[in-house]
Amino acid sequence: MEKLKRNTKAKQLIMSVLANSPSALCYDDFERRIPARMDKATVYRILQGFCDDGVVHKISGENGKTYYALCHHCSSERHNDSHLHFRCVRCATILCMDEPISISPLPSGYTMLEASCLVSGYCPDCLPLRDEKHLQPTKTTTT
Amino acid sequence: MEKLKRNTKAKQLIMSVLANSPSALCYDDFERRIPARMDKATVYRILQGFCDDGVVHKISGENGKTYYALCHHCSSERHNDSHLHFRCVRCATILCMDEPISISPLPSGYTMLEASCLVSGYCPDCLPLRDEKHLQPTKTTTT
DNA sequence: AAAATTATTGCAACTATGTTGCAATAACAA
DNA sequence: TTGTTATTGCAACATAGTTGCAATAATTTT
């Protein structure tokens, strides 16, 4: 039998943080944005719960951290994760782009179920600054 | 001044493991494949060194583990990471595909420097077995 | 070939991200 | 208001990876 869910303060807080952020967030981001004290375990459990409900999806960054963002076109049955994630090498934010990705054809024999794609580059806010002083992409800690 | 590098037994071992594996490997894989005792720190340091040399690249799996594979078209100046990685949901191996990826056009204002793409699906070996007995993708607990 | 130099290794302790068991707390139903 | 039980906080744990340092072993120098 399905465990019934409760609408708690903690969940509301986490959800509002997610809803108010244009970019995907990692645990530290939540910690910083939540005024009230909230345990690490609680934050992770709530986020995991949202993922199980199909409301939130995870993005694993190259830094070993997991980022969370609201799903826009997902259901609990089917996660539509096959879209693009963008990481700005200058301001370090991670964005979900709703555009679906098209992958160049796989070698024959391979079947694609899902694709998660993390593109790095400059976001519109940071692009104009690119040549500020011959700025190097902040150490592209290579994948 | 550049620190001069030494050609040690440990490096040769790690390199031969890499060279003999068709798929990308995580730390545990190295541990299993290396007969001699070798410290965790040593393995990680050697792999990191290879990465710095541009000989090996990292792939971060969704399970929090980092996978390592020989580069085929990289130099120490420029990592050609913008290719596809494939994870078989059945046999759990991770492969590098040398085919470059083409990403559907980004929204305007965004500039792409690099893209790392992890596609999940069935590899040729596992594809024929897909419907064996209405087989579910083996609960994606990757390696 | 032996001695000197210093990159590399092994060890142990540590960091960081995330998870789990359990008693206390707080949603929600009655 | 009271009872039920999902949820929280705490503390301890798990896992992936890193770091300082003395011992070891590749190279270079003699």
Listed residue (B100, B45, B111) closest to B73, CA to CA: B100
Residues facing residue A86 across a β-bridge: A95, A119
User: What average pLDDT does this structure show over A21-28?
Assistant: 94
**Backbone phi and psi for residue B15, each to the nearest 5 degrees, phi listed first:** -65, -40
Q: Does B31 touch chain A (CB under 8 A)?
A: no
Say whether pLDDT at B135 is over 60.
Answer: no
Q: Are A78 and A37 within 8 A, CB to CB?
A: no
Query: HSE (CB half, 13 Å, CA atoms) of A63?
Result: 13
In whole angstroms, D24 C1' to B2 CA is: 22
Model-wide pTM > 0.85? no
Q: CB of B75 under 7 A from strand D?
A: no
Residue B12 region, left (φ>0) first, then alpha (ψ -120 to 50), else beta?
Answer: alpha
Residue reference for tokens 């509002």:
A16
In whole angstroms, C5 C1' to B4 CA is: 12
> What is the pLDDT confidence band of residue B126, given thresholds at 50, 70 and 90?
confident
The CATH number given to A9-129 is: 1.10.10.10
Tell me the pLDDT tens digit for each residue of B3-12.
789 999 999 9
> What is the pLDDT confidence band of residue B71, given thresholds at 50, 70 and 90?
confident
Parse chain A into domains and list their residue ranges: 9-129
